[in-house]
Amino acid sequence: MQKSELPDPFEEIRLKSGVGEMNDQDDPVKMVLRHKDVRKTAHNYKTFTSAAVPGRIVVPSEVNIRKTRQIPFELDPPIHGVYRAIVEPWFKRPLQADYAEKLTAQINALVEETLEKDKVEVIEEFALILQSRALTLLLNIPYEEASTWISWGTHVFRSEDTALDGDKANILYDYIDKQIEKAIKNPGEDLYSMLLASEFDGKKLTGEEVKGVMVLTFAGGRDTIINVVTNAITYLSEHQESLERFRKEPEIIGKAVEEMIRYFSPLTQMGRVVTEDTFVCEHAVKADTRVSLCWASANRDAAVFENPNEIVIDRKINPHVGFGFSHHNCLGASHARQIMKVLLSALAENVASIEVFDFKENIEDLGEFKRKVGYDYINAKFNRLTK
Ligand code: EMZ
């Protein structure tokens, strides 16, 4: 098996019954595994709500470490749509030329720094730095702020030995509270200030609502970006020919990004809470229990994708659900796509090859399934392309 391979642990059960099961802190989850069912369930917000107790739709559940409702993520239509409309234009800024230019400068500089090193630990010294620096653009705040976030380490809710670390989560919440206070006193051109100036139902957003958007922005785009970046690096270490292709055919980079999101599925699943006794894929589920939409499984469904377990770098038809599906599709998707496009171009233009020395896989424990989602560490070297 290649280092960069992410096996699909769901195939057998997806074919057999379409529904998997996992326990999660005594609040079990029925995992919906087929592409068709995942999409159908995602649409049906009346029976499968996102507006449950804050943290409960996340797997693993965050109910014990979070009281703030993430917005618009933990809401249902029609209210969801009103909040989404407030934040959507801001989260489309990554499509603007000057944003892409700044991002390109950041990523080129990081690749250059990395080329100078004999060894780079790809998670802490590359992906985390890339994600944190890029986040300053998304928030439109000074670049220097990235160093604070880098000092928190890779996970905002997870520490070395605890999957859900309340103390660590509090660092983030306290930080966001302080930033909101600052923006109230001193409004600027940043995301906090934009949110504080926005109105819902003719009233300014409350501090708690602003916090809800900010916690989502920090938490939702951290592990996910880090996972996709590190998986991409490992993949390229074994597929030098893809770097070569990006150089010769830069027009395929957009497709390559979608394919990596499909194959790596950086967020394995997202939950919903059932509002009435019903069925998923012919399995009875009870009101007030949890189901999850397993994006990672749907993205390997052979009923939809030819050669689902292969990275087809220029895959033509790719209706993946790596960014979720329906009204809750990922708010940060434009930012994430732009990061990945810029990264693949920067690597193609400057890097001849990547050597991976050693690594440790990060395996998610999902009851009957164990899924590789990324790495705990990867020691590597980037070799310069001589032009
Ligand atoms: C939540 C979630 C959002 C959650 C799109 O996903 O991402 C997770 O990584 C966070 O822990 O709080 O933001």
Q: Which atom of ligand 1 is nearest to the CA of 62?
A: 12
Q: Please tell me the predicted confidence (pLDDT) of residue 295.
A: 98
| CATH code, residues 11-61+76-154+222-384 | 1.10.630.10
Q: Please tell me the predicted confidence (pLDDT) of residue 1.
A: 77
Cβ of 74 closer than 6 Å to ligand 1, yes or no, is no
For residue 282, which amino acid is it? E
Q: Could you read off the pLDDT of 356-368 as tens digits, one per residue?
A: 999 999 999 999 9
Cβ of 57 closer than 6 Å to ligand 1, yes or no, is no
Of all protein residues, the one whose alpha carbon is nearest to atom 3 of ligand 1 is 220
CB 193 within 8 A of CB 141: no
Q: Could you read off the pLDDT of 313-350 as tens digits, one per residue?
A: 999 999 999 999 999 999 999 999 999 999 999 999 99
- Mean pLDDT across the chain: 96
pLDDT over 70 percentage in the chain: 99
Q: Could you read off the pLDDT of 5-19 as tens digits, one per residue?
A: 999 999 999 999 999
Confidence of residue 279 (pLDDT cuts 50, 70, 90): very high
Domain boundaries of the chain, sorted by first residue: 11-61+76-154+222-384, 155-219
For a substitution probing ligand 1, which of 56, 165, 213, 216 has the most ligand atoms within 8 Å of its CB? 216
Q: Could you read off the pLDDT of 185-236 as tens digits, one per residue?
A: 999 999 999 999 999 989 999 999 999 999 999 999 999 999 999 999 999 9
CB 351 within 8 A of CB 384: yes
Q: Please tell me the predicted confidence (pLDDT) of residue 160.
A: 63
Cβ of 323 closer than 6 Å to ligand 1, yes or no, is no
Query: What is the pLDDT averaged over residues 64-69?
Result: 95
Confidence of residue 161 (pLDDT cuts 50, 70, 90): low
**Whole-structure pTM value:** 0.97
* Residue owning tokens 């990922």: 330
Cβ of 267 closer than 6 Å to ligand 1, yes or no, is yes
Dihedral pair phi/psi, residue 356, rounded to 5°: -100, 125
For a substitution probing ligand 1, which of 58, 66, 213, 215 has the most ligand atoms within 8 Å of its CB? 58
264 contacts: CB under 8 Å, gap ≥ 6: 6, 227, 228, 231, 232, 322, 374
CB 135 within 8 A of CB 146: yes
Confidence of residue 369 (pLDDT cuts 50, 70, 90): very high
Helices 223-238, 128-139: crossing angle, 10 deg rounding: 130
Of all protein residues, the one whose alpha carbon is nearest to atom 8 of ligand 1 is 220
Q: Which atom of ligand 1 is nearest to the CA of 215?
A: 13
For a substitution probing ligand 1, which of 71, 73, 217, 228 has the most ligand atoms within 8 Å of its CB? 73
Task: Report d(CA 72, CA 68) in Å as an integer.
Answer: 12
Q: How far is the CA of 58 from the centre of ligand 1 (A)?
A: 7
